Amino acid sequence: MTAASQVIVNDTHDPTAVEPLEGAAVRDFHRGLPGYEPTPLLDLPMIAERLGAARVSVKDESSRLGLPAFKILGASWAVAREVDRRLGGAGLRTVDELREAVAAQTVSLSRLTTLVAATDGNHGRAVARMAALLGLSAIILVPRDMVPARIDAIASEGAEVIVHDGDYDETVRRAATMDSDTHAVIADTAWPGYDEVPRWVVEGYATIANEVLEQLSAQNIPAPTVVVVQVGVGSFAASMVRSFAPTGARMIASEPVSADCLAPSIAAGTPTHSSGTIDSIMAGLNCGEISPIAWPTLQAGVQSAVTVTDDGARDAMRLFARAGVESGESGAAGLAALLAQPGLVRSDDHVLLISTEGITDPVAYAEIVGAIRAEVSA
């Protein structure tokens, strides 16, 4: 029997302890990437009415720099910083400058040749895209239950894909062993002795928040009062908490009931491994452990943690579709949290949802959403 959604209120949260995230340098870097433009920020009154909120804004990350998810923002910044570090640390460099530096390496046993990542889909594809842009190879490890469409998408970037006989957390540990002078591991979670790259990943996601605040300001709309963030390993959530908690927004976290590492951690007051089966359709959130660098931020900044069912994610995908948004399973998890726990929203709230991915599994999306027509108001 599937566990029901639950909400854990964080009685010890302290937003004043959250370190604000400055993203100016990151945003400048992203502006230099091929095809950069801000993703849409949508006003969706249909969903606001359903939730009983004054306004619902949705940041639509279904097409970010030519990829169907937001992950390229964290991956590109982390890859750029790590490649620069390995090539002598000349400072912040553009993609063109980094590609030239990679090509100019002397032939030796320590020559950087390959980027390595473990992934549940979107992060690995983003790392593979960056490898191709820089003239490097990529090896992407995926867990045994990865659907073929996501494997094919990673391989389409020119990467070697290795299916590891384990879940996501076990696949991360296998990838970690591949780090060497020639192979750079680009992970979005940390472990003892490895935290610099995942910190850069957190920084990279700040561009989403910077765009949101600029887009709202351009319309003379105040910052959101509620921000819902999806939690996998916690890097994305930590970035959004550091970006929006200092503005006074109430931060609500969403994660699958079968991969709930944040909610029990908040309840226990210490990082706690999920007791779930780690097999949600929300593949991007199938993580059993919170990243150590994300945990302090989430413990301080998240007001409530909500666990959501796969059926809840399906319902949220359908509601998004009726509103004209193509949102994948993980992308719809934030909306699923508020549909499951409507008491978290007040009638005067301006809610920000971030649809973190579009259609990454076309077969599953068609089965879930079907022929729903968007009910977009004129």
**Catalytic center residues:** 71, 120
CB 98 within 8 A of CB 80: yes
Residue carrying the six token digits 């854990």? 8
153 close to 360: Cβ distance less than 8 angstroms: yes
CB–CB of 184/87 below 8 Å?
no
Instruction: Give the CA distances from residue 344 to residues 4, 145, 264, 270, 306, in Å, rounded to whole numbers and listed in that order.
Output: 17, 33, 19, 24, 10
Question: Six-digit token pair at 127?
Answer: 């790392």
Burial 11-46 (b: 16+ CB within 10 A, else e): eebebeebeebebeebbebbeebeebebbebbebeb
Question: Reading across the β-sheet that carries 183-185, which strands appear in turn?
Answer: 160-164, 137-143, 114-118, 183-185
**Sheet strands (E) in the chain:** 6-9, 41-43, 55-60, 114-118, 137-143, 160-164, 183-185, 226-230, 250-256, 302-308, 350-355
- What's the start-to-end Cα distance of the chain, in Å? 43
